[in-house]
Amino acid sequence: MARILTGIQSSGVPHLGNILGAILPAIEMSRAAGNESFFFIADLHSLTTIKDAAIRKHNINAVAAAWIAFGFDTDKNLFYRQSMLPEVCELTWYLNCLTPFPMLANAHSFKDKSEKLADVNAGLFTYPVLMAADILLYNANFVPVGKDQLQHLEMTRDIAQKFNHLYGETFVVPEAKIDEEVMIVPGIDGQKMSKSYHNYIDIFQTDKELLKLIKSIVTDSLPLEAPKDPDTCNVYNIYKLIADSEQTANMRNNYLNGGYGYGHAKQELFDIIIAKYASAREEYQFLMNNPAALNHKLEKGEERARAYAQDTLSLVRKKLGY
């Protein structure tokens, strides 16, 4: 049985890019019979950048609700909020004291962030150690992450090996699991869809807001009658990631034949989102309107996670002479 663990950033309502590129593939992976998945909302990491409590609370709930709405099975797997297992903070301290300062100072993501952000706090600096504690606390075998997180995984491995070397076999040394064929969902302006570019599609909006947003997808200005190139059109490029092969072939033909306008394509994109994600959109609204139901699901995962966390910590304390 392989234990798969990953942290989900709680940086806002997940958009279509997050859903197609991260949520659905991770849920698919978690369904494999031989896998046991530990997925958690990295809401302690979020404090490095987000300071507002109300925004944090909303983001945590929105991310959790979206994963559950898309079918992440919280009974088969462990789904929890990082902050509800404060054991991870204690382990972070122990690991901090084994982490060489230059390793953190040389981290790409720290250098990047310290150039871009006005608030360069110590949390940003020790971010990778908290991440190592997230992983080592639960003895994960595999950690699915994007390429930008590879260096953090290398640090986790170094820290685990150092601890094992000094105090005897304690931690599983985890492996990164990188998906080489990552899908890149374009945003409404054709760049990669991202919160930072404000070009994202929030499928959880009302129908009216969603239609308005889809109508704002940037296209060229060819007239309705003209044949069009589907491959350079954002509407088609988003549609084909959601539609099945027959629907995609139909839209493709419509573009190539002419007599089909971008307005038609946008309406079809809207219709398919509404049809395909009807139950997820409904479940999401239900959970956002019923925080007690959402909380209950998360608390079950947190209770199970606590047993693992406490076992690891008591072993670590013993090894360290506490």
Nearer to ligand TRP, 145 or 213 (CB): 145
CB 284 within 8 A of CB 65: yes
Q: Which of 29, 104, 145, 274 binds ligand TRP (CB under 6 A)?
A: 145
131 or 309: CB nearest ligand TRP: 131
Dihedral pair phi/psi, residue 94, rounded to 5°: -60, -45
Nearer to ligand TRP, 196 or 221 (CB): 196
Is-contact 143 177, C-beta < 8 A?
Answer: yes
Measured between alpha carbons, how far is 45 from 127 in angstroms, rounded to an integer? 7
Q: Would you give the binding string for ligand TRP spanning residues 119-138, x where CB under 6 A is met? A: ------------x--xx---
Give the residue with the Cβ less far from ligand TRP, 107 or 131. Answer: 131
CB of 9 to ligand ADP, least distance (A): 5
Single residue of 7, 14, 187, 230 touching ligand TRP by CB under 6 A: 7
Find out whether 243 and 251 touch, Cβ atoms under 8 Å: yes
CA atoms of 289 and 281, how far apart (whole Å): 12
Select the residue whose beta carbon is closest to ligand TRP and give its number.
7
Instruction: Report the residue from 61, 149, 199, 312 that binds ligand TRP according to the rule CB under 6 A.
Output: 149
Where are the extended beta strands (E) located within the chain? 2-9, 35-42, 78-81, 142-144, 175-177
The 18-47 contact track toward ligand TRP, x by CB under 6 A, reads ------------------------x--x--
CA-derived radius of gyration, the chain: 22
What is the distance between the alpha carbons of residues 293 and 23, in angstroms, rounded to a whole number? 21
Between 192 and 304, CB nearer to ligand ADP: 192
Let me know if 192 is a catalytic residue: yes
- Which among 195, 215, 300, 319 is annotated as catalytic? 195
User: Site residues (CB under 6 A) for ligand ADP?
Assistant: 9, 11, 17-18, 21-22, 146, 183-185, 192-196
Measured distance between the N- and C-terminal CA atoms of the chain, rounded to whole angstroms: 32
The one-letter amino acid at 313? L
- Smallest distance from the beta carbon of 301 to ligand ADP, in angstroms? 20
Residue 6 interacting with ligand TRP (CB under 6 A): yes
Alpha-carbon distance of 40 to 207, in angstroms, equals 30
In the complex with ligand TRP, the residue whose CB is nearer, 153 or 188, is 153
φ/ψ of 5, rounded to 5, equals: -135, 135
Phi and psi torsions of 99, nearest 5°: -100, 120
134 touches, from ligand ADP, ligand TRP, none (C-beta below 5 to 8 Å by class): ligand TRP
CB of 149 to ligand TRP, least distance (A): 5
Residue 7, binding choice from ligand TRP, ligand ADP, none, Cβ under 5 to 8 Å by partner class: ligand TRP
CB 180 within 8 A of CB 3: no
Q: What whole-number distance in Å separates Cα of residue 188 and Cα of residue 199?
A: 5
- What does the binding site for ligand TRP look like in residue numbers (CB under 6 A)? 5-7, 9, 42, 45, 131, 134-135, 143, 145, 149
Give catalytic residues, as residue numbers: 113, 192, 195
